[in-house]
Amino acid sequence: MIRIAFFDTKPYDRQAFEAQLAENPFAKGIKASFFEPRLDRTTASMAKGHDAVCIFVNDVADKDTIDVLVALGVKLIALRCAGYNNVDFKYAHGRIALCRVPAYSPYAVAEHAMAMLLCLNRNLHHAYVRVREFNFTLTGLTGFDLHGKTAGIVGMGKIGRAFASICQGFGMDVVAYDAYPSPMDGVKFLSLGEVLSKADVLSLHCPLTKDTHHMINKKTISSMKKGAVLINTSRGGLVDSIALLGALKTGRLGGAALDVYEEETGLFYEDQSYRIVQDDIIARLISLPNVLVTSHQAFLTKEALSNIAGTTIDNIASYFDNGELKNGVAG
């Protein structure tokens, strides 16, 4: 019997994993406990009696948390997401195994990025509210044609490439920067500085690392086109939120579509509607008419949830059945 403790479980996670546990032949012998709290040093003791923990983007597996898990005999941290910036993977090396889901649906995230761009640019978030109040005026709802504009993409991996194809379908020119570029038809690979200076719409699709932390900051924003729109569906830490807010207030940037936020842990995925949100930066960003925020939901399609659950179960089963670490994260 392999016992897995799921942390930060939401109803849609549970549904997708329960379907896998019932149907997937690799899931035989796996027993799941679904916990609502996020994993961190204060909740890690809930993993007592389990062989593996399964965590998501806002769980924290830092040194202290890893020490508790190791002391409890937990052998594997299975991330049910692609990014692993929330895990001290160097410290985990040799102490506890790590695996992740490197790809589950790049289309889910790329399509959400375009959905946010369309909504923001064409002011659908305002139009929806106006029409519900029977206010049929159009003043303030003017957008711009995407056709003929330049999309700048930073990070041309699976999601960046899917987003590039979508932009091409809209008749946009696509320029891109990647630290390890691999060619794509119709996409011009340039330096980061050139991409920033050419993009009417800049979309971030690279991982959050020490090198990419705050890659969008006061200095880099000043090299962007005046009025450019920023889309971030990757990780909040890529953007210096204070610099972004400043640039939006002055009109240096024309808008921002944010599915992620650097201080989202503890805020996103929870109902905060009856609380006084203490984070003045996100509160002010949300208050701006040219900012659209979603709660780290770009991954949330049926296909993605099913693929996440399938790959996670496969990763866990192969580690415990034959010692093979599939989709491992190296320290």
Q: Is 211 in the site for ligand NAD (CB under 6 A)?
A: yes
- In terms of Cβ atoms closer than 10 Å to its own Cβ (0-12, 13-18, 19+), residue 58 is buried
Q: How far is the CB of 204 from ligand NAD (least distance, A)?
A: 8
Pick the binder of ligand NAD from 8, 59, 259, 314 (CB under 6 A).
259
Cβ distance 13 to 80 under 8 Å? Answer: yes
Q: Is 328 in the site for ligand NAD (CB under 6 A)?
A: no
User: Which residues make beta-bridge pairs with 216?
Assistant: 239
Phi and psi at residue 6, in whole multiples of 5°? -90, 130
Query: Which positions from 72 to 91 touch ligand NAD by CB under 6 A, shown as an x/- string?
Result: ----------xx--------
Pick the binder of ligand NAD from 149, 205, 225, 252 (CB under 6 A).
205
Q: Among the candidate windows 116-124, 142-150, 173-181, 246-254, which touches ligand NAD by CB under 6 A?
A: 173-181
Strands 253-258 and 291-293: parallel
Count interface residues toward ligand NAD (CB under 6 A).
30
Please say which residue, 10 or 28, places its beta carbon nearer to ligand NAD. Answer: 10
Please say which residue, 50 or 112, places its beta carbon nearer to ligand NAD. Answer: 112
Write the CA distances from 26 to 55, 260, 281, 298, 313, integer angstroms.
20, 33, 45, 28, 7
Name the one residue in this structure whose structure tokens are 């139009």: 127
Pick the binder of ligand NAD from 9, 54, 155, 221 (CB under 6 A).
155
Q: Which residues are catalytic?
A: 235, 264, 296
Pick the binder of ligand NAD from 8, 61, 119, 160 (CB under 6 A).
160
Burial 93-128 (b: 16+ CB within 10 A, else e): eeebbbbbbeebbbbbbbbbbbbbbebbbebeebbe
Cα 53 off chain centre by: 20
Please say which residue, 30 or 117, places its beta carbon nearer to ligand NAD. Answer: 117
Q: Is 327 in the site for ligand NAD (CB under 6 A)?
A: no
Name the one residue in this structure whose structure tokens are 């890659």: 215
Residues lying near ligand NAD in the complex (CB under 6 A) are found at: 82-83, 103, 106, 109, 154-160, 177-180, 205-208, 211-212, 233-235, 259-260, 296, 298-299
